[in-house]
């Protein structure tokens, strides 16, 4: 079901008037994690003012270590839904377990499956039973075939609203946090009809590389970008401050992107 052979035309996912996978570029911006109502409200305001369409933010965080901040949980979903409503943005948040799919879907417009859960098949099966759009991140060691098979689980369950996200893979290079696999964008476009979103924040792990890799992703054919932005990156509650753009960088990035492709 994920393959271009089966479904030659591009899939366009339409959410409250925003079309993902169509002519225009979609930009999702926001913090790694929802921290407080004030934090997410202010960031939502800045995302909207810059011209973004989707507010990102994790309420449940898949942390490498068990002692790290794990997210504020259900309250974070409520904070983000409120900020999205107030500022007229769609919202995307990560869901990690099948039991939380329904509550996350009640609060967010798009559900994100993180790199560490790309092959959490119970989660994928559960996501197949609803119609809420899913942004499926590529596992950091997954081949294209494994990635598309993971998408297939959701599609086979009956949810056609799947977008693929390249967020960097693990290579021998340690200068960047991951290696953003730009070739994945045209390859997946060839193999599949699903929209492709690029995540240069996790793909590089370095703020100064986000802008050039966003532009490169658009040139390679990405339908959208997901970018971390924080009002106080140095004091963010996850370690992702170093890859988060400052608000003015985010705004300038969108001005530049508009020259490459119309925003939704
Ligand atoms: C995130 O989007 O903050 C995140 C945890 O992403 P990934 O699953 O790609 O590491
Ligand atoms: Mn993050």
| pLDDT tens, position by position, 120-141 | 999 999 999 999 999 999 999 9
Stretch 155-171: mean pLDDT: 98
| Smallest CA separation from ligand 1 atom 1, residue | 32
Q: Is the CB of 177 under 6 A from ligand 1?
A: no
Stretch 193-202: mean pLDDT: 98
pLDDT of 88 > 90? The answer is yes
Q: How far apart are CA 251 and CA 229, in angstroms?
A: 10
Within 10 angstroms of residue 181's Cβ, the number of other Cβ atoms is 18
Q: What are phi and psi of 158, to 5 degrees?
A: 115, 5
pLDDT of residue 239: 85
> What is the atom index within ligand 1 of the atom nearest the CA of 202?
9
- What does the DSSP assignment read for 97-127? SGGGHHHHHHH-SEEEEPGGGTT-HHHHHHH
pLDDT of residue 33: 97
pLDDT of residue 30: 98
Stretch 106-115: mean pLDDT: 98
Asked if residue 40 lies in contact with residue 15, where contact means CB atoms within 8 angstroms, the answer is no
Q: Is the CB of 114 under 6 A from ligand 1?
A: yes
Name the CA radius of gyration of the chain, rounded: 17
pLDDT category of residue 86 using cuts at 50, 70 and 90: very high
Q: Could you tell me the distance, in angstroms and rounded to a whole number, from the CA of residue 114 to the centre of ligand 2?
A: 10
Q: Is the CB of 115 under 6 A from ligand 1?
A: yes
Q: What is the pLDDT of residues 210-255, one digit of tens each?
A: 999 999 999 999 999 999 999 999 999 998 999 999 999 999 999 9
Stretch 87-104: mean pLDDT: 98
> What is the atom index within ligand 1 of the atom nearest the CA of 61?
5
pLDDT category of residue 183 using cuts at 50, 70 and 90: very high
Q: Is residue 160 classed as helix, strand or coil in its secondary structure?
A: coil
Q: Could you tell me the distance, in angstroms and rounded to a whole number, from the CA of residue 56 to the centre of ligand 2?
A: 10
Q: Could you tell me the distance, in angstroms and rounded to a whole number, from the CA of residue 47 to the centre of ligand 1?
A: 19
| Smallest CA separation from ligand 1 atom 3, residue | 32
Contacts 24+ apart (CB under 8 A), 217-221: 217/166, 217/180, 217/182, 217/185, 218/25, 218/257, 218/260, 218/261, 219/260, 220/182, 220/183, 220/185, 220/186, 221/185, 221/186, 221/189, 221/196
Q: Is the CB of 137 under 6 A from ligand 1?
A: yes
Q: How far apart are CA 147 and CA 106, in angstroms?
A: 26
pLDDT of residue 230: 98
| 225: enclosing H helix or E strand | strand 224-228
> What is the atom index within ligand 1 of the atom nearest the CA of 56?
2
User: What percentage of residues in the chain have a pLDDT greater than 90?
Assistant: 99
pLDDT category of residue 204 using cuts at 50, 70 and 90: very high
From the list 66, 70, 92, 69, the residue with the least C-alpha distance to 80 is 92
Q: How far apart are CA 17 and CA 5, in angstroms?
A: 28
Q: What is the pLDDT of residues 45-75, one digit of tens each?
A: 999 999 999 999 999 999 999 999 999 999 9
């Amino acid at each position: 079901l994920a393959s271009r052979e089966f479904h030659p035309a591009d899939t366009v996912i339409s959410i409250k008037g925003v079309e993902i996978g169509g002519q225009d570029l979609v930009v999702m911006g926001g913090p790694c994690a929802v921290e407080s109502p004030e934090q997410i409200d202010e960031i939502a305001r800045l995302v909207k003012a810059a011209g973004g369409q989707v507010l990102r933010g994790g309420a449940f965080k898949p942390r490498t270590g068990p002692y790290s901040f794990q997210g504020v949980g259900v309250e974070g979903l409520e904070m983000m839904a409120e900020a999205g409503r107030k500022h007229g943005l769609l919202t995307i948040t990560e869901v990690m377990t099948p039991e939380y799919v329904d509550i996350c879907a009640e609060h967010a417009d798009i559900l994100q499956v993180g790199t560490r859960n790309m092959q959490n098949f119970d989660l994928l099966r559960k996501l197949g039973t609803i119609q809420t759009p899913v942004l499926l991140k590529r596992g950091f060691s997954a081949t294209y075939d494994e990635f598309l098979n993971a998408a297939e689980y959701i599609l086979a369950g009956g949810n056609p609203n799947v977008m693929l996200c390249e967020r960097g893979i693990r290579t021998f290079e340690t200068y960047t946090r991951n290696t953003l696999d730009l070739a994945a964008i045209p390859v997946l476009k060839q193999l599949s009809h699903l929209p492709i979103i690029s995540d240069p924040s996790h793909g590089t792990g370095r703020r100064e590389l986000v802008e050039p890799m966003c532009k490169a992703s658009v040139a390679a054919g990405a339908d959208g970008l997901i970018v971390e932005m924080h009002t106080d990156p140095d004091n963010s509650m996850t370690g992702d401050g170093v890859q988060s753009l400052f608000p003015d960088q985010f705004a300038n990035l969108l001005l530049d992107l508009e020259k490459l492709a119309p925003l939704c």
